[in-house]
């Protein structure tokens, strides 16, 4: 699949790039994407919820009344869950919600998400977005050039760019991620992907195994 390269004003530069078929032209695996999103959402939960049981509620250090002779039901503590202001029965306790999936499934999910966006023609390749200081106005103008005002846009960069991240901080729906670190939920939660041209090779190496295949071809050529 070939896509045109645009400049930061949204105009074609006349250059085309070939997307890695092993990453952007795969049959989407919906179950893998579901698992990846489920894992990420689970990891976002703090798991700090708690309720006091009968041992944690203050008070109740002595028996309210004697065992027999009053004609009332026997009681051992005023903090019994059956009493008002007593402890909670089977209340929530702090525990981690962390889940894990195999790395291959995670990579499959991200390939599926990228292939889905490619099929929907929701990928734009940008030559570069260089900023020597945070400038929200420049990023707003860039989105206007691509007619993406008010849309949920994910910008994928080859490395961490603090100025670009800070520029997108005040734009609703606009997010910046390092290409190889973008999760499946990031890719699916945005309608359009703006991918910097230099980001394509790292993505292919990590998700498509391009580096491994290149090494295998070199080894085979050396053996011949």
What is the predicted pLDDT for the residue at 115?
Answer: 95
Fold of 2-33+101-223: Ribosomal Protein L4; Chain: A; (3.40.1370)
Kindly report the pTM of this predicted structure: 0.80
Average pLDDT score, the chain: 90
Q: Residue 12: is its pLDDT beyond 60?
A: yes
Where are the domains positioned within the chain?
2-33+101-223, 46-96
Report the half-sphere exposure of 124 (CA within 13 A, side-chain side).
26
What's the pLDDT tens digit per position in 56-112? 999 888 999 999 999 999 999 999 999 999 999 999 999 999 999 999 999 999 999
What is the predicted pLDDT for the residue at 208?
Answer: 84
How many Å apart are CA 175 and CA 177, to the nearest integer? 7
Structural contact between residues 37 and 189, judged by C-beta atoms closer than 8 angstroms: no
What is the predicted pLDDT for the residue at 35?
Answer: 97
* Burial (CB count <10 Å: 0-12, 13-18, 19+), residue 2: exposed
């Amino acid at each position: 699949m070939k896509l045109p390269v645009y400049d930061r004003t949204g105009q074609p530069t006349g250059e085309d790039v070939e997307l890695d078929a092993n990453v952007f032209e795969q049959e989407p695996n919906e179950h893998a994407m579901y698992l990846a999103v489920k894992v990420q959402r689970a990891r976002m939960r703090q798991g700090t919820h708690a309720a006091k049981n009968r041992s944690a509620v203050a008070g109740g250090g002595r028996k309210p009344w004697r065992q027999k002779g009053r004609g009332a039901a026997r009681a051992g503590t005023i903090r019994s869950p059956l009493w008002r202001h007593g402890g909670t029965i089977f209340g929530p306790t702090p525990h981690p919600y962390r889940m894990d999936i195999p790395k291959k499934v995670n990579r499959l999910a991200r390939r599926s998400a990228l292939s889905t966006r490619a099929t929907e023609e929701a990928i734009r390749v940008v030559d570069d977005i260089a900023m020597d200081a945070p400038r929200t106005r420049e990023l707003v103008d860039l989105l206007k050039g691509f007619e993406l005002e008010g849309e949920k846009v994910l910008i994928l960069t080859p490395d961490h760019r603090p100025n670009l991240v800070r520029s997108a901080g005040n734009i609703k729906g606009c997010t910046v991620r390092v290409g190889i670190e973008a999760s499946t939920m990031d890719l699916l939660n945005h309608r359009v992907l703006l991918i910097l041209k230099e980001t394509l090779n790292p993505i292919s190496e990590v998700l498509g195994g391009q580096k491994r295949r290149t090494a295998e071809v070199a080894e085979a050529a050396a053996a011949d």
